[in-house]
Structure 1
Amino acid sequence: MKDADDRRTARRALVVIGLLLGTTLALAFLWSTRRILIWAVIAAFFAVALKPLVDLVQRRLLRRRALATLLVFTITFVVLAALAALIVVPLVDDLVRFTERAPELLREARAGRGVVGRMLDRIGLRDYLANHSDQIRQYGERLRQPAVGVIRGVAEGVFGLTTVIVLAYLMVLEAPRIIRTTFSAAGDARGERWQRMGREVSRTVTGYLTGNLVISLICGLATFLVLLLAGVPFAAVIALLVAIADLIPLVGATIGAIIAIGAAFLHSTTAGIIVLVFFVIYQQIENHLLQPVILSRSVRLNPLTVLISVLLAAELAGLVGALLAIPAAGIVRILLREYLPLRRVPPEPTRPDG
């Protein structure tokens, strides 16, 4: 009897050790391949967002799935490239002008003249820069050294973007076959439930990504026009930063507003007041008009859930993770609602009077 108990204890210990080792290996594998997994998740989001459009094109225009997918991806790429060109052309002009004016701005800052020099005088940094000019020059020289690292980062970014596009294309192309195989293996009742969940997830992701991009584009263009009318230099660069920051839920709009208002006040007090008033008015329009109208079919989550989701996703996948945090949280909400239904407590029976 004792030998049998010892053998059972040994088997249980081996099972526990095996589970621990298997879990450790699985976590190590996930950690070592986290970049590929993040690319796959991003591709899945874009595939879910573009699949309804591909289905529509296949039904109305092209019967072949491959041609419909290629057409939608080509049009999407052309539109994004056109928008990028509209942003990059003035951005490059501003960067060239900034590079040309950089030596003059540096001389004015050292002499205490110009906008930068007066600002440094007000906050007491001009004396610090004068006393530590050699250290600042050495730091600038060190910044020029890691050119190979910058080139490698750009190459990795291009490779990652290409991988995401190819993965999203293949996911959309093979989506009908995958869906048919999954539903046939699940059965009629479960397959119908999964199909309903899939439609809701697709609507959530498509609505949020499209709406968020449209809102950020409106914010960037409006900011560019206001900065241009106020005479603030490098308006395209600042507007681009504001549009990118506005993509981040909750805190992005505030960050972008601080950048633009600070740059405007550096130019002049009048420009700073104009930009400040603009952002106060625009924030009300975005919060009470644009977001309810454009994102009316998107996810509806409370601010605490949104903030926690954004922080966790940003820690895992950076800016892209922060952008996809809300639709991911919406998908989790759909899954929890379907598989963890809340049990309602039955009302207590009423007692008859008397």
Structure 2
Amino acid sequence: MSDKELPHSEWVGQPHPDGEPEPITAAEADASELTSSRFPLGQPGKRFDRRSPFMMGLTAAAGVLVTVGAVKVVLAAHQALLLVVAALFLAIGIEPAVSWLARHRVRRSVAVALVFLVVLIALGGFLAAAITPLINQGHALIGDTPGKLHHIEDTYPALRRAADRIHLDQKVQDAVNSKTDDIGHGLVGAGKVVFGAVTSTVIVAVLTAYFSANFPSLRANLYRLFPHTRRPRAILIGDAIFAKVGGYVLGNLLISLITGVLTFIWLTVFGVPFALVLAVLVAVLDLIPLIGSTLAGVIIALVALTVSLPVCVTTIGFFLVLRLLEDYLLAPRIIGRTVRVPAVVTVVAVLIGGSLMGVLGALLGIPVAAAGLLLVREMLFPRLDQDANPSPA
């Protein structure tokens, strides 16, 4: 038999030996007859008997080894995995916009590029216009904190007595001095932090672009992991989960942007200092569910108190109205009903996510909880109800 009749790969084991063992030669001849256009590598054979003692023992041992190995990999590479998870959720978040462009006859790669271009233009324009005021106001806010605190204490004696009891002046001054020393004497450490942040941002951006551009193939390969009989229902449930996560991520970003803009307008109108820095702070903190907007309101109220008590009170009222506006108008209209999570589950999800993965876990806790509730409602509850009420024989 010539080399052309053998199923040898021209890229493997060349040149093939003339004295190849007869069993191998015969097997290669049979292999050449198995190849076809439908099955280039041969049709899959019969499955192993999973109930045999050997297979059961092998499966159990392999399961233990895989579980231990997976835990070790997660612990060793948790920082990289956090970046991958963040990129995946961002890709799912921009998927509605990319799919909308794709439905309007825009190539998917071009659609991803357009979405990224819009984001880069918006971010670049904001930084170009606001980076200098942000830096100046940030330094001024840190440097003026003790003076602002003394002004509040002199204006409101009750607050001064409370601050004296807890030695607030000394604590604030020590914190400012420590930060100043860190900035002055820790340039190398600050450079490492900046370099790490820039590197992580670039990695997340590249991974997000990759995941988004290849999302249809990733989705199809994911669904191929399910058995043929269960694949249609897996597609329905999986797409519902993707829709929930994407709607939450994109909607939460839009709501945060709206709250930041409204806060900037309010602070500018009432002459509250450091309006731009505080507005950006509100937009960032508003991304964190439950406690983010509350913490931002407390910080803004304290800064507004340096202007006057009426401005502080009205600012508190503004944040209460803004919270109601966000909960009952913006969130239902922007996020809609794609993410329906009970309040107690929301609190638990945010706490658990924050304790496991920090701020990223708090951000992802609600969509993950929504996906889990969907799985429980569609898979676990029907099975439990069926077991509890068996049909008559």
| TM-score (norm: length of structure 1) | 0.78
Does the 8 Å CA contact 2:301/2:316 hold for their aligned counterparts?
yes
The alignment yields a C-alpha RMSD, in angstroms, of 3.8
> For 2:244, which of 185, 188, 204 is the aligned residue?
204
**For residue 241 of structure 1, what is the aligned residue in structure 2?**
281
Residue 239 to residue 204, structure 1, CA distance change in 2 (3 Å)? same
Q: Which has the higher contact order (CA 8 A, sep 6+)?
A: 1
Quick one: distance in 1 between partners of 2:173 and 2:119? 50
> For 1:157, which of 197, 204, 214 is the aligned residue?
197
Q: 1:38-187 maps to which residues of 2 (within 5 A)?
A: 38-63=82-107, 65-85=108-128, 88=131, 90-95=133-138, 97-98=140-141, 102=144, 114-115=151-152, 121-125=160-164, 139=178, 142-144=181-183, 145-183=185-223, 186=226
**For residue 309 of structure 2, what is the aligned residue in structure 1?**
269
> For 1:311, which of 332, 347, 351 is the aligned residue?
351
**For residue 26 of structure 1, what is the aligned residue in structure 2?**
70
Greater shift, 234-243 or 75-84, is seen at 75-84
Quick one: distance in 2 between partners of 1:70 and 1:131? 52
Quick one: distance in 1 between partners of 2:344 and 2:253? 22
Percent identity over the alignment is 30
Deviation at 1:34, TM superposition (A): 0.5
Quick one: distance in 2 between partners of 1:135 and 1:263? 20
Cα displacement string for residues 263-315 of structure 1 (whole angstroms, at most 9, x for unaligned residues) = 11132112112212212222222222222222213211111111111112112
| Structure 2 residues not aligned, in runs of 5+ | 1-52
Quick one: distance in 2 between partners of 1:33 and 1:167? 16
Cα displacement string for residues 236-289 of structure 1 (whole angstroms, at most 9, x for unaligned residues) = 222222222221112222111111111111321121122122122222222222
| TM-score (norm: length of structure 2) | 0.71
Deviation at 1:207, TM superposition (A): 1.4
**For residue 326 of structure 1, what is the aligned residue in structure 2?**
366
Quick one: distance in 1 between partners of 2:296 and 2:247? 23
Quick one: distance in 1 between partners of 2:284 and 2:199? 21
User: What count of residue pairs does the alignment treat as equivalent?
Assistant: 332
Quick one: distance in 2 between partners of 1:184 and 1:133? 58
**For residue 219 of structure 1, what is the aligned residue in structure 2?**
259
Residue 218 to residue 86, structure 1, CA distance change in 2 (3 Å)? farther
Does the 8 Å CA contact 1:230/1:274 hold for their aligned counterparts?
no
Residue 298 to residue 89, structure 1, CA distance change in 2 (3 Å)? farther
Quick one: distance in 2 between partners of 1:301 and 1:226? 31
Deviation at 1:327, TM superposition (A): 1.0
Quick one: distance in 1 between partners of 2:169 and 2:72? 50
Quick one: distance in 2 between partners of 1:26 and 1:122? 56
Task: Compare the two structures and name the one with the higher helix fraction.
Answer: 1
Residue 294 to residue 234, structure 1, CA distance change in 2 (3 Å)? same
Does the 8 Å CA contact 1:115/1:267 hold for their aligned counterparts?
no
Does the 8 Å CA contact 2:305/2:312 hold for their aligned counterparts?
yes
Cα displacement string for residues 208-253 of structure 1 (whole angstroms, at most 9, x for unaligned residues) = 1122122222222222222222221111222222222221112222
Quick one: distance in 2 between partners of 1:131 and 1:223? 31
Quick one: distance in 2 between partners of 1:172 and 1:279? 36
**For residue 229 of structure 1, what is the aligned residue in structure 2?**
269
Residue 220 to residue 249, structure 1, CA distance change in 2 (3 Å)? same
Does the 8 Å CA contact 1:94/1:237 hold for their aligned counterparts?
yes
SS in 2 for 1:264: helix
Does the 8 Å CA contact 1:207/1:297 hold for their aligned counterparts?
no
SS in 2 for 1:297: coil
Quick one: distance in 1 between partners of 2:337 and 2:343? 17
**Paired residue type of 2:95:** K
| Structure 1 residues not aligned, in runs of 5+ | 1-7, 350-354
